Amino acid sequence: MTAPLRRTAVLAAVSLAGALVLGGCGSDKKSEAEAEHEALPASATETCVADAEQVSSLPDGFPTDFPFPDRTVVYDAEDRGADGVIATGVTSLPFEQVLAALNGPAQDAGFEVEHGETEEHDAEADWRGNGFEGRWAIRESGKCQGETVVQVVARAE
């Protein structure tokens, strides 16, 4: 291989490697907590509404007026300090209605989606509003027909 051809091949390989690395990275604004909870773990989809017990209160630092979809039982909440509060719940509403609630009434309440991704059985989005920022993720329940798991990460702006 001649020197100009070799140089072109090396540059092409470096460019491809860089594109693959950058393509695999999300927003540089994601916190460690968001990266960990970007996709709901399978274990989170195993709790059914019938088995879920509502937490008595959400930790300070979570917006008290966040509009969870109707019939959501928030059964776990964890304060991750500077990374925010993670609240996990389940609702008897089907996935499509939960997605519509988070893309409709939640935005109308000031929790506006900045960008997101929707697939057949799950969706996630970054949001901002009312002095908070965060991410929500929803997934059809892996165990309970017609139910949807909702997880929201929130922190003060």
Q: Are residues 75 and 152 in the same domain?
A: yes
My answer on whether 5 and 67 are in the same domain is no
| Count of domains forming the chain | 2
Q: CA-based angle 154:146:122, to the nearest 5?
A: 45
pLDDT score at 114? 97
CATH of the domain at 73: 3.40.1000
- What does the pLDDT read at residue 37? 44
Check residue 130 and give left, alpha or beta (phi > 0: left; psi -120 to 50: alpha). Answer: left
Largest Cα span, the chain: 71
Give the per-residue pLDDT at 46.
80
If asked whether residues 10 and 71 sit together in one domain, one would say no
pLDDT tens readout for residues 48-57? 999 999 999 9
Quick one: 21 and 36 in the same domain?
A: no
| Domain limits for position 14 | 1-25
Give yes or no: residues 66 and 142 share one domain.
yes
Whose structure tokens read 């019938």? 50
* pLDDT confidence of residue 28: 43
Q: Both 56 and 6 in a single domain? A: no
Strands lying side by side in the sheet with 112-118: 72-79, 85-91, 148-156, 132-140, 122-129, 112-118
**Weakly modelled stretches of the chain, pLDDT under 50:** 2-38
The predicted pLDDT at position 54 comes to: 97
Q: Are both 136 and 66 inside the same structural domain?
A: yes
What is the pTM for the complete model shown? 0.73
Does one domain contain both 69 and 122?
A: yes
- For residue 154, what are the contacts with CB-CB under 8 A and spacing of at least 6? 61, 62, 63, 66, 84, 85, 87, 132, 133, 134
Looking at residue 84, its pLDDT comes to 96
Pair (20, 46) in one structural domain: no
Same domain, 12 and 58: no
Q: What does the pLDDT read at residue 85?
A: 97
What SS3 state is found at 55? Answer: coil
Tell me the backbone φ, ψ of residue 25, rounded to 5 degrees: -95, 145
Q: Are residues 9 and 74 in the same domain?
A: no
Residues 14 and 60 in one domain: no
